[in-house]
Structure 1
Amino acid sequence: MKQLTLLMLALAAACSVGSAGNSSIEDSRSRQSPASSQPAVVPTGYVTDAAGIIDATREEALSKRLYALEQATGHQMVIVTVPSLDGQDISHFTTALANAWGIGRAENDDGVVLLVAPNERKVRIAVGYGLEKTLPDALCGHIIEEQMLPRFRQGDLATGIEAGATALINQLT
């Protein structure tokens, strides 16, 4: 219980707050939290496009880049789109998702979640404490404002997501 409390406190900050976890995407299904606090999204890999806005070719390319990032740096990043936040605040939703999926390495608290909820017109970059110096709030806000939102406003959500992911990957490498 003490570890869970410390983890929850650790997730309360960085790039629009939150993220972290411990291990790989593939192992995350066995570590999900109880349904009451768990987002109703099931991880499918480095890119989970539950909102259906990323074409298969781009999804595969992004997944390969995120896998390569993890192999090169140890940092784990996922991209998630959801059709709905189910009335939750995006900050809470993303933190719960990161915890349920176990994004990043627990000992390093170095997970990153790029979440887009197109129906609510919300986007968030959640960063574990271990990466907040590399990806501070101001930089994440800049990536959202300068790289993602202009493309979203043009109706090209997939390109905006890709631009945001590219900026984050570049910063992490």
Structure 2
Amino acid sequence: MKRWLLFVFILFVTLPFNAFALIPERPTTSGFVFDYQNVIDDEVEQELNKVAEMLNEQNKMQLFILTVPTIGDMTNVDYGVQVIRQWGIGQRDINNGMLIFATTDQGEGNNVVRIAIGQGLEGDYPDGKTGRLLDDYMMPYLTNGDYTTAFSEVVDAIRIEEGIDYDGLSLSFMEFMKRDLANDFSEDPIGSSFVLLVIIGSILSFFLLILEGILRLFGYKPKRSIWHFFVSDDSSDSFSGGGGSSSGGGSDRNF
């Protein structure tokens, strides 16, 4: 009986230490990219560090990138939470930390990539949004073992989302939409065509409303607004907003 209790005690005590041993100590060197597995090209790693530094300087977020061989028996969520806590990622007053980590040695289909976020970014980066960042910008490359492009694409997407200029190039909203639609179209041409039609329809509606306003200035008073043909009178009640609870943790995928 005593041996059994001793075994349980040792197991209870050592398991947390074994789990935390998988988390690297907070680096003493400066920078935001810690590619311990050397799967990101050096030149790209330098560019990622520059973008992360700009995000930090402009108080957008503290973005850290980490590659490790495995997270062992820890869950994806726990590993992200513990790294953010132990490394102190995010400014203390606004908790704006974001961690993107990926494993390399857990085997095909079992490797994981996760975007973990601090509570201060929950509103701007809900689970659906972080999931889309993974699906659109990382998974197409990680499934082929291309960590360099995966991290480059997702960090560039975050840079654009946060309105950060880099190398003197500022992508306008239309340029961003063109790039975003191009990525979506390659994955889902039918859905992307619908989005494109919605955008075109919105622009057309805007110009029609301007035309109606000009006609009214010259005394023309239509019985019904041009807008009536696009939105019915009871449209305000036709949509019921929805949503779900968010843990604030982010999203992950296996590859």
Taking structure 2 as the reference length, the TM-score comes to 0.51
Deviation track 1:118-145 (CA, whole Å, cap 9, x = no partner) reads 2231010011111111111101000101
Query: What's the CA shift for 1:151?
Result: 1.0
Higher relative contact order (CA 8 A, sep 6+): 1
Task: Give the whole-Å Cα distance in 1 for the aligned partners of 2:32 and 2:112.
Answer: 20
2:95 is the alignment partner of 1:109: yes
2:66 counterpart SS class: strand
Match of 1:61?
47
Task: Give the whole-Å Cα distance in 1 for the aligned partners of 2:70 and 2:54.
Answer: 29
Task: Give the whole-Å Cα distance in 2 for the aligned partners of 1:71 and 1:38.
Answer: 31
Q: Choose the corresponding residue for 2:104, options 118, 127, 130.
A: 118
Q: Choose the corresponding residue for 2:126, options 120, 136, 145.
A: 136
Q: Pairwise CA RMSD of aligned residues?
A: 1.7
Question: Would you say how many aligned residue pairs link Structure 1 and Structure 2?
Answer: 139
Task: Give the whole-Å Cα distance in 2 for the aligned partners of 1:170 and 1:87.
Answer: 35
Task: Give the whole-Å Cα distance in 2 for the aligned partners of 1:74 and 1:152.
Answer: 26
Residues 98 and 117 of structure 2 are in contact (CA less than 8 Å); yes or no, is this contact kept in structure 1?
yes
Query: What's the CA shift for 1:86?
Result: 2.3
Residues 152 and 160 of structure 1 are in contact (CA less than 8 Å); yes or no, is this contact kept in structure 2?
yes
Match of 1:94?
80
**Runs of 5+ consecutive residues of structure 1 not aligned to the other structure:** 1-34
Q: Choose the corresponding residue for 2:23, options 40, 60, 65.
A: 40
**Runs of 5+ consecutive residues of structure 2 not aligned to the other structure:** 1-15, 164-255
What is the letter of the counterpart of residue 50 of structure 1? Y
Instruction: Kindly indicate which of the two structures has a greater share of residues assigned to helix.
Output: 2
Residues 38 and 100 of structure 1 are in contact (CA less than 8 Å); yes or no, is this contact kept in structure 2?
no
Task: Give the whole-Å Cα distance in 1 for the aligned partners of 2:127 and 2:21.
Answer: 25
Match of 2:71?
85
2:151 is the alignment partner of 1:161: yes
2:37 is the alignment partner of 1:73: no
Match of 1:152?
142
Residues 135 and 171 of structure 1 are in contact (CA less than 8 Å); yes or no, is this contact kept in structure 2?
no
What is the letter of the counterpart of residue 79 of structure 1? I
